[in-house]
Amino acid sequence: MTIHREGYPTIAIVTLFLGLGNTASYYFLSASYGVVFISILLISVLFWGFILSFFRVPSRIHTQSENSIIAPADGEVVVIEEVEPDEYFNDRRIQVSIFMSPFNVHVNRNPISGTVVYSTYHPGKYLVAWHPKSSTENERHSVVYQKNGREILVKQIAGALARRIVNYLQPGQTVQQNAEMGFIKFGSRVDLLLPLDAVIKVKIGDRPLGGVTEIATW
């Protein structure tokens, strides 16, 4: 396991503040209020561990398949439905949505190999990520991949806590399946918009692993 580069500034700031806070707690509380000092120290260690865990990149054997669409994120499948897209596409699509809690791995990966033909950031609201309107009203970044004349769209969607979406892709870029597409901080959601003839391999409540779990075939 490694720590993602997006986490370095946050980890450094958290470490500095926790270090200063616990140093002050030691000098002012340890002698007379030992229980309070120990409590603050334990809470600080747990919080620091959570921050490290949030930015973790676990070692995995990624799934490589020409005909498969692989999960772009860890989390829980919360939506599988036919929808009318709000951007790029003019035809109906199957939407598969993966909700990412603060405890999931937050690296986002390319679900297929291909060419990036669309990559656009949309400012918006910060509704909770499982809200039905979060796909169209929240801050988000949309990417369309094209492969053999067929296209899929992936949305990185901010949630109530997620206030920073990072996306590394530009139109015209050729990408490999499971390479990093971006990162979302502190709880969020990723939507996939797939062709209607895609064969869905997951169901509501499933917990896919990014870069590993097959979401659909086409």
Residues with catalytic roles = 188
Cα–Cα distance for residue pair 201/69, rounded to 1 Å: 10
- Cα 122 to its chain centre, rounded Å, is 16
Question: C-alpha angle with apex 10: 4 to 11, nearest 5 degrees?
Answer: 75
Whole-angstrom distance, CA of residue 63 vs CA of residue 61: 7
Both tokens assigned to 3: 């720590």
| Cα 72 to Cα 34, 43, 45, 85, distances in angstroms | 47, 33, 31, 19
List C-alpha distances in Å: 127 to 25, 33, 98, 161: 37, 41, 15, 9
Amino acid at 138: N
